[in-house]
Amino acid sequence: MSRVGKQPITIPDGVTVNVEGAEVLAKGPKGTLRSPVPTGIGAKVEDGRLVFERPDDTKESRARHGLARALANNMVVGVSTGFAKRLEIEGVGYRADVKGKVLNLLLGFSHPVAMDIPEGLTVKVEANTTLDIAGADKQLVGQFAADVRSLRPPEPYKGKGIRYHDEHIQRKVGKSGA
């Protein structure tokens, strides 16, 4: 049995979940999300819980069973409480600001970097060096944070670059002068 797939998802107050054919639709205070259900997996809402079933015990069915449950759980958590990532910018002259739906970054390049903020995400900048990325879609929040970080990943000598708030950068010793 899939340990993840067989656990029911409790639907919190203020969130509605509907199963429409091969799709699960979740609505809540943070927005609306929809996700396809993998082929062969059945989904149904009963007693305020979302339950997934699979037809057999093949390896592929077990994998899809857990996947369907995990994606649906992320949707329910996203529309009720949301997801957030915090990035920190470290380096002399490195800073960020938000104007409308565009994130502007100064990262030591010869030009400023402008990134469009995807629909459904909110980005806040604190003290020019801390970015808070929040939204209902876990995948979208994580992907946008990874895209921002990839512009200037932290380097191991001085620690300059963009890093996650809880990320530890292992420092290296530089050249030893004679």
Q: Mind listing the pLDDT tens digit for each residue in 33-60? A: 999 998 889 999 988 899 999 888 888 8
Q: How confident is the model at residue 1 (pLDDT cuts 50, 70, 90)?
A: very low
In this structure, the dihedral spanned by the alpha carbons of residues 41, 25, 134 and 113, taken in order and rounded to 10 degrees, is 80
CA distance 96 to 107: 8
Please name each of the domains of the chain with its CATH number. 9-80 (3.90.930.12), 83-164 (3.90.930.12)
**Cα dist. 82→8, 138, 177 in Å?**
20, 8, 50
**176 — pLDDT class (breaks 50, 70, 90):** confident
pTM of the model: 0.88
Neighbour-count burial of 73, counting CB atoms closer than 10 A to its CB (0-12 exposed, 13-18 middle, 19+ buried): middle
Render pLDDT for 13-30 as a digit per residue (tens, 0 to 9). Answer: 999 999 988 899 999 999
Rounded Cα gap, residues 159 and 171, in angstroms: 7
pLDDT of 115 strictly over 60:
yes
Average pLDDT over residues 80-107: 94
